[in-house]
Chain A
Amino acid sequence: MTGINRLPAPAGLLIDRSRTRTFKFEGQLVDGCGGDTIASALAANDIWVLSRSFKYRRPRGALTMAGQDANTLVQLPGRPNVPADVEPVSDGLDVRGQNYEGSLAHDRGTWVGWLHRFLPVGFYYKAFYKPRGAWRFWAPFIRRKAGLGRVDEAAPRGYFDKAYLFSDVIVIGGGPAGMSAAITAAKAGAEVILVDENPILGGALNYARFDAAGEAGARERQRLVESVAAQDGIQVMTGTVANGWFADNFVALMRGNRMFKVRAREVVLATGAMEQPLVFRNNDLPRIMMGTAAQRLIRLYGIRPGTRAVVATANDDGYGVALDLADAGVQIGAVADLRAEPDAGEMAAAAKATGIRVETGCTISSAIPGGGGRSVRGAVLSRIEGRGTYGGGETVDCDLVCMSVGYAPAGQLPCHDGGRLAMDEKTSTFVLRNLPAHGHAAGSVNGSRALDTVLAEGVHAGWRAAAALGLEAGAEPAVPEARGADDRNHDWPLFPHEDGKDFVDFDEDLQVQDILNACADGFDDIELTKRYSTVGMGPSQGRHSALNALRLVYRATGRSLADAPPTTVRPPYTAETFGVLAGRNFEPVRYTPMHHRHLESGARMMVAGPWMRPSFYGAPHDRERSVREEVRAVRGGVGMLDVSTLGGIEIRGPDAAEFLNRMYTFTYARQPVGRSRYLMMCDQTGVIVDDGVTCRFHERHFYVTTTSSGASDVYREMLWWNAQWRLAVDISDVTNAYAAVSLAGPEARKLLVPLADDIDLSPDAFPYMDVRTGHVGGIPARLLRIGFVGELGFEIHVPSSQGEALWDALMSAGEAHGIRPFGLEAQRVLRLEKGHVIIGQDTDGLTYPAEANMTWAISRKKPFFVGGRANRVHEARPLLRKLVGFAIHDPKAPVPEECHLTLYGNDIAGRVTSAARSEALGCIIGLAYVAPAQAEIGASFPIKIGQGRFLEAEVVPVPFYDPDNRRQEM
């Protein structure tokens, strides 16, 4: 037998008495059974204090035994804030309490409780924000005091992932209503997922009492569970939480380390109800719990929750609790029935027949704490005189207090997708309104409690879901009598005490007076009350405080509760770990066909848009030297750069030239076949967004390149425009079909000649800016005689499957010429020496062509091109800045960085966009935006380089290197 409080079988539906689980709690070894939760195993061993409260450090124990309250949050290794009442025990588990100093039993921080009158509601706002800066002083102290569990930064990485699930119907909640709905819908042929957060199906049937004999629950459970198992088409997912319900019935489920994303056509909401607390002095002591919590302990875990109990109730269910307790061997001190004239219920009659003492029109007004507030030793019964008022008091000895004074629907999920909760005055609880389309509520979430009504509602919801799917579901079953007749909530279960500690919100230690004070401070809208007082903001998210807080706020402000809404409900329904949200973390990476060759050559790779590209080849510490040598190789011999990342788009059809004329700024109608031409693209506001080269291979065929990061945007933009223009042109993105290299340097032609046997590479036959098709090393290729780096060069585009073979062929043929692969860093220096602009680096989201000296690329003769109209507006206005080339001749000057500011007088004129030390030119060169008045050749301007230092730069003509372009046209 594990634990002195363990009841004999058959009590204990979830536990396996044949297996012992030994774990540590606060350093002490504790034995539980297989199937126990941490809290139940501790309760079996008469350990009831699980945590200390957030503000006053009061000892707390389980309130719901359903994972719904913050009282049970414990620390596991690497996992803070674990609800002990649902977390299973396992051998060797090391469990600690949270939120105390010293030990859980003797917290050195309890003095805070004595200060409660100096900790008024809104205390933090009031106390620590004046004088200015005070919060910074107080924050570390308060955070240490108020913290929940500890995050272990060294906790091992878990493996989390996500999966989709598809079904016609998802039924959320595996209780009597949910199981009935699932069976009905599946019988009609629907594919059903039945989800429940508990380890087994059954819901309230597993623990609650529905009749005097105490047999109906087990009987119905057995019938329904067997029917579910026998019914085809139901996928049962227990231990699974539905945590969000989003647009178009997208339901997020969490099970272990996996999130399931379910798209269902119909959703049946059968999530049940949550029992609500009674507010009285010391209602937070350990072993003051919901009636259903006591029933869960008895039936699920086989635990006797006390020796002598007082039950406060306002419905027949409370008598069921009393009967269950009596059956479990607990003496009943008294049943305090809040109702003055209770309806005669079946279980009330049975309870009275056993001789249990029943007081009507009576409440518990206070609980008497035992041993340092770690237990309860008596309940004071008082006569109810009015709404929340009472008189007299008689102390009844007890070590257990059960509260059964009403329920609130677990209606959070539909509120994620437009549903809302509102107060129904007649039943004194929330009702669900505006269920999402294709949502059906059934059972106690719908306000129904009587078992036959719940079952009938389940059948009806299942039928409606099936009917909505167009399935043959037979005649509509009888609609159960409307909820509302079933009134189990007391309309005012709040009995404030002049000495306080009458808790409305256990998470945040808020008492009745705190809520009233918030209203008095002017925060009397429920949303404001919540934020000011923090009511409902703790881990249990108002599950037990929303109803009572609303009652208090509306009464304090003299408003009618009819239709009053609680605070907005947002996802998630329960706490979720970041790992579950992150999942497997899919992030597509793009590699060129030559990627592994780069790695084998010692390349340092860098992220460039969606691509991985070589930054330079060499050891990290050798970066500067490597880049310098790569630059030298291109200027003096031959280098090769992988440019497979350039976007490639085929434009084909009778309107191909007209289409380019509209998309780009230049004119392409008369571009000769076999020639290439520069491309500049603007957006509708006239800002430069991309550039590239177009090759005309045929009257009706252009091959267009884009920047490496711009390919997909340019392609989309082209398709979007032509969806409107409807030109006779086909636009195909072939970026990934081509691998490409840029072979550049004075030796480039010599290297290539032996490989290109069907293309005449001589300068006359293949002049600068021409394009050819043929073969390189036997590989079909498109050759472009263009050069971004300002040397004799060829861009060679080949089918990507042969990109690596091309690389291999060129590297081996180039060996004799001292070929060297170069990376992006060298390319940036080389193109800067030529004054070439990189779109997105030397331009920004506002740069229009005149600012970047690009008006030469604009055709004035075309009727229309994208950005043309806006460009006319820009050009009619004075320039505000201009991109210039600059040189810094001081040999000791550091190289300015991108985005260092340029100044004009005391004003910011612009910024440096590119800068590098040029070996070819023997100075620092760069591009920068300056004021138009500073843009004359020979003018100088200051660059602010940080730490109050300035560099003087001189405006020089571009290109810096080989201004007559002789080298690239060799």
Chain B
Amino acid sequence: MRCPLNGPRNISEFVYGGEVVGMPDPETVSDADWADHVFLEDNRRGVVREWWLHVATAYWFIAERDTATDEIVRTYPSSDVFTERVSFPVPGGKGGGT
């Protein structure tokens, strides 16, 4: 697998971190949907986006992998997807966390 920071490395240098999924809004989501979010994975056939960690550098990145062929289509830094600071509104609604 090609690590975006370190280049191609043996797969034994990496740890899988689950599918890249958005988190539902904890304030509005139902208990059942939250349980679905934390316990279930889609397990789709085809190209999926996954978190991978290069262990030696503790570097998280994203890989697009075809679950049918196990082919890694591409890898890129997580900052390509997560570009903005995430804030959680205080319940009752008065702006960001800090």
Contact = CB atoms under 8 A, between A and B. Distances in A.
B84 A726 contact: yes
B97 A870 contact: no
B82 A723 contact: yes
Contacts of B70: 247
Contacts of B35: 873
Contacts of B60: 716, 719-720, 723
B85 interface: yes
Interface string A861-879: 0011000111001001000
Interface string B81-98: 011111011110000011
B68 interface: no
A661 B97 contact: yes
A685 B60 CA distance: 22
A662 B26 CA distance: 13
B97 A685 contact: no
Contacts of A247: 11, 70
A257 interface: no
Nearest to B62: A723
B34 interface: yes
Nearest to B20: A724
A728 to B, nearest CB: 8
Contact of A716 (B34, B53, B90): B53
Contacts of A728: 85
Nearest to B23: A724
A263 B60 CA distance: 24
Chain B: interface size category: 20 to 34
Nearest to B61: A723
B76 interface: no
Contacts of A726: 79, 82-86
Contact of A685 (B26, B39, B90, B91): B39
A685 B37 CA distance: 10
Given A658-B98, A720-B17, A724-B78, A733 B58 contact: yes
Interface string B56-86: 0010100000000010000000110011111
Interface string A235-251: 00000000000010010
A684 interface: yes
A864 B78 contact: no
* Residue from A716, A724, A727, A728 having most chain B Cβ neighbours under 10 A: A724
B14 interface: no
Given A725-B86, A864-B26, A870 B34 contact: yes
Interface residues of A, number: 29
Contacts of A876: 31
A220 interface: no
Contacts of B39: 685
Contact of A655 (B15, B58, B98): B98
Nearest to A654: B98
B38 A685 contact: yes
A715 interface: yes
Interface in B30-65: 31, 34-35, 37-39, 51, 53, 58, 60
Contacts of A685: 38-39
Interface in A712-767: 715-716, 719-720, 723-728, 733
B29 interface: yes
Contacts of B90: 863
A863 B91 contact: yes
Interface string A645-663: 0000000001101100110
Given A658-B97, A685-B38, A723-B78, A869 B58 contact: no
Given A719-B60, A720-B17, A733-B58, A684 B88 contact: no
B81 to A, nearest CB: 9
Contacts of B98: 654-655, 657-658
* Residue from A250, A728, A864, A876 having most chain B Cβ neighbours under 10 A: A864
A735 to B, nearest CB: 12
A125 B97 CA distance: 68
A263 B1 CA distance: 13
Nearest to A867: B38
B85 A715 contact: no
B34 A873 contact: yes
A338 B58 CA distance: 66
Contacts of A864: 26, 88, 97
B58 A716 contact: yes
Contacts of A263: 10
A720 B31 contact: no
Interface in A862-901: 863-864, 868-870, 873, 876
Given A247-B70, A726-B82, A715 B91 contact: no
Contacts of A684: 37-38
A873 B35 CA distance: 9
Contacts of B10: 250, 263
B86 A720 contact: no
Nearest to B37: A684
Contacts of A869: 26, 29, 34
A658 B96 CA distance: 10
Contacts of A870: 34, 38
Contact of B26 (A250, A657, A868): A868
A870 B29 CA distance: 11
Interface in A219-263: 247, 250, 263
A868 B98 CA distance: 18
Nearest to A731: B58
A684 B17 CA distance: 14
A716 B57 CA distance: 10
B85 A727 contact: yes
Given A658-B98, A863-B97, A715 B82 contact: no
B53 A863 contact: no
A328 B84 CA distance: 83
Contacts of A250: 10
A35 B68 CA distance: 49
A896 to B, nearest CB: 34
Interface string A554-585: 00000000000000000000000000000000
B58 A719 contact: yes
Contacts of B84: 726
Contacts of A724: 78, 82, 86
Contacts of A654: 98
Contacts of A723: 60, 78-79, 82
A702 to B, nearest CB: 14
A715 B38 contact: no
B97 A715 contact: no
A661 B98 CA distance: 10
Nearest to A864: B88
Interface in A390-427: none
A873 B15 CA distance: 30
23 contacts: A250-B10, A263-B10, A658-B97, A658-B98, A684-B37, A684-B38, A685-B38, A716-B53, A720-B17, A720-B60, A723-B82, A724-B78, A724-B86, A726-B79, A726-B86, A728-B85, A733-B58, A863-B91, A864-B88, A864-B97, A869-B26, A869-B34, A870-B34
Given A863-B90, A869-B26, A873-B35, 4 more contacts: A654-B98, A684-B38, A863-B91, A864-B88
Which 5 pairs, one residue from A and one from B, show the smallest C-beta to C-beta distance?
A864-B88, A869-B26, A863-B88, A723-B78, A725-B86
